[in-house]
Structures are given as structure tokens and as C-alpha cells.
Amino acid sequence: MLIYSSIAFITLAVSLKVITEKSKNFIFRAKTAREADAKANLSPAMDRLASNIKLQANLFGSFN
């Protein structure tokens, strides 16, 4: 009986360890994907901002 309890306890511990590691990996991948999406969405906005700044600098320079 003690052997069966020990085997069950070890199996439970290993299962919890595996589940914990898989959830950590899943959370990390989700976070990385969110950051990549945020950077991808930010890039066009930054390009538009840079082009607007260049345009304003050109317009301001033409008045001097």
C-alpha cells in the first residue's frame, strides 16, 4: 500500500511540475507575441510621425 501511495505521489508531483513548466512557456510565448504585435503596430505610426516631421521641417525651411 505504501508503494502505491508513493508512486501516486511521485506521479502527481511530476505532473504538476510538467503543467507548471508548460504554463510558464505558454505565458512567455503569449507575452512575446503581444510584444511583437505591439512593435509591428507601432512601426507604421512611427514611420508616419517621422515623415510628418520631415515634411514640417521642409515646409519651415522653405519660409526662411
Q: pLDDT by residue (tens digit) across 40-55?
A: 777 777 788 888 888 8
User: How many domains would you assign to the chain?
Assistant: 1
Whether 6 is covered by a domain: the verdict is no
Residue 12 lies in a domain: no
pLDDT digits (tens, 9 = 90+) for 1-39: 788 888 888 888 888 888 888 888 888 888 888 887 777
> What is the distance between the alpha carbons of residues 42 and 50, in angstroms, rounded to a whole number?
12
Tell me, yes or no, whether 20 lies in a domain. no
CA 13/CA 8 separation, integer angstroms: 9
Compute CA 31 distance to the chain's CA centroid, rounded to the nearest angstrom.
3
DSSP-assigned letter for residue 38? H
pTM for this entry:
0.44
Q: Which residue in the block uniquely carries the three cell numbers 510628418?
A: 52
